[in-house]
Amino acid sequence: MRWERVSAHRGKQPKWVGPEGGAGPQNPGSRPFPARRYSRIVGGWDLLPRALLSSLSEPVLLNAPVVAITQGPHDVHVQIKTFPQARNLKALKADVVLLTASGPAVQRITFSPPLPSHVQEVLRGLHYVPATKVFLSFRRPFWREENIEGGHSNTDRPSRMIFYPPPREGALLLASYTWSDATAAFSGLSQEEALRLALDDVAALHGPFVRQLWDGTGVVKRWAEDPHSQGGFVVQPPELWQTEKDYGPYDWSMPYGRIYFAGEHTAYPHGWVETAVKSALRAALKINSREEPALETTSPEGQRQRQGPAHGVAGSPSYDLAEEEGSHSPVQGQLPLQHTTYTRTWH
Ligand SMILES: Cc1cc2nc3c(=O)[nH]c(=O)nc-3n(C[C@H](O)[C@H](O)[C@H](O)COP(=O)(O)OP(=O)(O)OC[C@H]3O[C@@H](n4cnc5c(N)ncnc54)[C@H](O)[C@@H]3O)c2cc1C
Predicted confidence at residue 13, as pLDDT, reads: 42
Q: Which atom of ligand 1 is nearest to the CA of 229?
A: 30
Domain boundaries, the chain: 61-127+236-314, 129-230+340-346
Domains 61-127+236-314 and 129-230+340-346 in one fold: no
Q: How far apart are CA 89 and CA 68, in angstroms?
A: 9
Render each residue's pLDDT in the chain as its tens digit; 347 residues: 565 555 544 444 444 343 333 333 223 233 334 556 778 888 888 999 999 899 998 888 988 999 999 999 999 999 998 876 666 778 999 999 999 999 999 999 999 999 999 999 999 999 999 999 999 999 999 999 999 988 999 999 999 999 999 888 899 999 999 999 999 999 999 999 999 999 999 999 999 999 999 999 999 999 999 999 999 999 988 777 666 566 567 899 999 999 999 999 999 999 999 999 999 999 999 999 988 766 654 544 445 444 333 322 222 333 233 333 333 222 233 323 233 222 333 33
Strand, helix or coil for residue 314: coil
Q: How far is CA 2 from CA 51, 166, 347, in A?
A: 11, 14, 14
Which of 52, 81, 89, 273 to mutate for ligand 1's pocket (most ligand atoms within 8 Å of CB)? 273
Predicted confidence at residue 45, as pLDDT, reads: 86
10 Å Cβ neighbour count for 249? 15
As a residue count, the chain comes to: 347
Phi, psi of 282 (to 5 degrees): -60, -45
Predicted confidence at residue 243, as pLDDT, reads: 61
Q: How far apart are CA 60 and CA 48, in angstroms?
A: 16
Q: Residue 148 carries which side chain, given as an amino acid letter? A: I
Q: Which atom of ligand 1 is nearest to the CA of 221?
A: 1
Provide CB contacts within 8 A for 93, sequence distance 6+: 75, 76, 77, 78
Strand-strand pairing, 214-222 and 76-80: unpaired
Predicted confidence at residue 256, as pLDDT, reads: 96
Predicted confidence at residue 307, as pLDDT, reads: 39
Q: Ligand 1 centre and the CA of 267: distance in Å?
A: 14
Strand-strand pairing, 90-94 and 161-163: unpaired
The answer, yes or no, to whether any atom of ligand 1 lies below 6 A from the CB of 345, is yes
Domain 61-127+236-314: which topology?
FAD/NAD(P)-binding domain (3.50.50)
Q: How far apart are CA 25 and CA 329, in angstroms?
A: 34
Predicted confidence at residue 294, as pLDDT, reads: 61
Provide CB contacts within 8 A for 159, sequence distance 6+: 134, 175, 176, 178, 197, 198, 201, 202
Q: Ligand 1 centre and the CA of 243: distance in Å?
A: 32
Report which DSSP code applies to 115.
P
The answer, yes or no, to whether any atom of ligand 1 lies below 6 A from the CB of 263, is yes
Domain 129-230+340-346: which topology?
Polyamine Oxidase; Chain A, domain 2 (3.90.660)
Q: Ligand 1 centre and the CA of 20: distance in Å?
A: 36
327, 21 Cβ separation under 8 angstroms:
no
Which of 133, 176, 264 to mutate for ligand 1's pocket (most ligand atoms within 8 Å of CB)? 264
